[in-house]
Amino acid sequence: MKIHANDGISQSGVDALSDFGFTITTTNVAQEQLINYINENDISGILVRSATTVRKELIDACPDLKLIGRGGVGMDNIDVAYAREKGLHVINTPAASSSSVAELVFAHLFGAVRFLYDSNRNMPLEGDTKFKALKKSYSGGTELRGKTLGIIGFGRIGQATAKIALGLGMDVAAYDPFMGEATVTVDFFNRQSIDINIKTCSFEEVLVQSDFVTLHVPAQDKPTMGAAEIAKMKKGAGLINAARGGVVDEQALVNALESKHLSFAAIDTFVNEPTPAIKLLMHPSISLTPHIGAATNEAQDRIGTELAEQIKNLLG
């Protein structure tokens, strides 16, 4: 049986699928050629990440397709309900990338409270001629310990983010309309662990209490953080979006940075990917990454082997 991974898959995933007896192809086929490719090559399963879409048209045109797999979490690029109605298996790997996204949030946070996003832009240009001036402008950083991290969306990634925050000695305030409380287990190297129960609070409480707010909600029809919500945040706070483009109103965010209501933002996911707004890319107070939350070797390995395992159970 043939499986085609159009947006790539880790070597560990390829190896596991081969061991289970599947033939796997990984050539990236252009979206408009994909229907032909699937039919001409008798593909039974198509695997995608976020780039390739699997819509109704493709599902209708490929009657022998049995499985659609998404390496990662959000399945907004797949017509999931329609595919399932047609009898296809639709699978993903919801937990595999949670800690990678959580660590990226902290990469941004640690960098932002010491102005690294700006220092890394200016040191190559002026580090040898204006060292003292740059030293002065990047003084006055802050520590994360003892600060409050506000987490909007307390699912897998929200809780993985809380775990790191708690380990650092931060306070956590979480909001999730569908989750009253959760027990977060903080693990240590020597196999000791501590369970900490966190009760969620209201959206408003999180906004007014937090020194930093990070979003971990699914894609939304309208921004979770618009001008009114940003206005409720503490003056000088920071906002992080490693969820989906559009969960933060990008113009409202830029306005809040310009007025100095917020001191920084960190963005991994943008409206209009892969051509994000220049006003965000050029903004001196934004720490930027190009949607790499799940892009660690460890997460990609887990995604590959978890997909292979599920495919073996469904089609093997």
- List, by residue number, the catalytic residues: 244, 273, 291
For residues 79 and 98, give the distance between their C-alpha atoms in angstroms, rounded to a whole number: 23
Nearest residue (beta carbon) to ligand NAD:
155
Does the N-terminal peptide bond of residue 274 adopt cis geometry, omega within 30 degrees of 0? yes
The nearest distance, CB 259 to ligand NAD, in angstroms, is: 25
The nearest distance, CB 253 to ligand NAD, in angstroms, is: 16
Where helices occur in the chain by DSSP H, the ranges are 11-19, 34-40, 56-61, 80-85, 98-112, 116-126, 131-137, 156-167, 203-209, 227-232, 250-258, 278-281, 297-315
Between the alpha carbon of residue 28 and those of residues 25, 279, 301, the distances in Å are: 9, 31, 19
Among residues 79 and 229, whose Cβ is nearest to ligand NAD?
A: 229
- Backbone dihedral region for residue 210 (phi beyond 0: left; psi -120 to 50: alpha; all else: beta): beta
Among residues 13 and 72, whose Cβ is nearest to ligand NAD?
A: 72
For residues 84 and 86, give the distance between their C-alpha atoms in angstroms, rounded to a whole number: 5
Q: Which of 239, 181, 171, 229 is nearest to 203 (CA)?
A: 229
Residues that bind ligand NAD (CB under 6 A): 72-74, 94, 97-98, 101, 152-158, 175-179, 216-219, 224, 242-244, 268-269, 291, 293-294
Q: Which of 217, 278, 248 is nearest to 73 (CA)?
A: 217
Among residues 175 and 212, whose Cβ is nearest to ligand NAD?
A: 175
Among residues 76 and 85, whose Cβ is nearest to ligand NAD?
A: 76
The nearest distance, CB 245 to ligand NAD, in angstroms, is: 9
Through-space distance between the first and last CA atoms of the chain, rounded to whole angstroms? 9
The nearest distance, CB 194 to ligand NAD, in angstroms, is: 22
Among residues 9 and 24, whose Cβ is nearest to ligand NAD?
A: 9
The nearest distance, CB 143 to ligand NAD, in angstroms, is: 25
